Amino acid sequence: MSAIARMTTGATDVWRWIATLPLRIRLAKREVAAAQEVPAGPSVRERQSDLIQFYGHFEHLVETLCDAAQYGPVDKLERRYRQEREWMQTHYLKVRKYVVAYLRFEVEDAEQSSLLDGTYGDAFESLFAAPDLESFLNVDDGNMISRIMRTRQALNLYGEHLRQLLVREKACA
């Protein structure tokens, strides 16, 4: 290719680029506007606070289930279970969208939830799917301890992830 042909091709490419500039600007403005419309999620500190609150209630639920497995569905445990179940049902979704990334799923969790409330839930949900302790104990498949271990592991891994994010935030500040 001759020098004149290369210069002509180069000039043509520059003019094509300049001609598409208004379109590129409009697309960039749309992307900025779309990014501004997306609501910001909770901060790392807010997520950590939600996790701490959730973990406290989760441990009360676990303690209640373990006591019920040993002593049966006595009235005191039944009341505690119903309170924690109600709290979990209203607050789990807030944490679920983050913690399931760290949860090891098992088929029996979904089956357990399905037997208790007709939905296919994860290991967390299978621990509070039953309407009462007696139902929980009657349908228990013997994997309660395994579920508790996996859910605790997921909570711990998620908590560690949040701690690492906070360390990064402090380092960048």
Residue 2 has pLDDT above 70, yes or no: no
The pLDDT assigned to 5 comes to: 60
Measured CA to CA in angstroms, residue 90 lies from 54, 125, 141 at distances of 11, 12, 25
Mean pLDDT, rounded, for 93-97: 94
Measured CA to CA in angstroms, residue 37 lies from 24, 30, 74, 79 at distances of 20, 11, 51, 44
The pLDDT assigned to 107 comes to: 87
- Distance from C-alpha of 140 to C-alpha of 115, rounded to nearest angstrom: 10
| N- to C-terminal Cα separation, the chain | 54
Q: pTM for the whole thing?
A: 0.74
In the chain, % of residues over pLDDT 90: 59
Residue 14 has pLDDT above 80, yes or no: no
Residue 7 has pLDDT above 70, yes or no: no
Dump the DSSP string for 106-119.
Answer: -HHHHHHHHHHHSS
Of 8-12, 59-63, 92-96, 100-104, minimum mean pLDDT range: 8-12
Q: Kindly report the CA angle at 78 between 76 and 83, in degrees rounded to 5?
A: 100
- Distance from C-alpha of 36 to C-alpha of 5, rounded to nearest angstrom: 46
pLDDT grade for 17, boundaries at 50, 70 and 90: low
Which of 24-28, 112-116, 161-165 is most confident?
A: 161-165
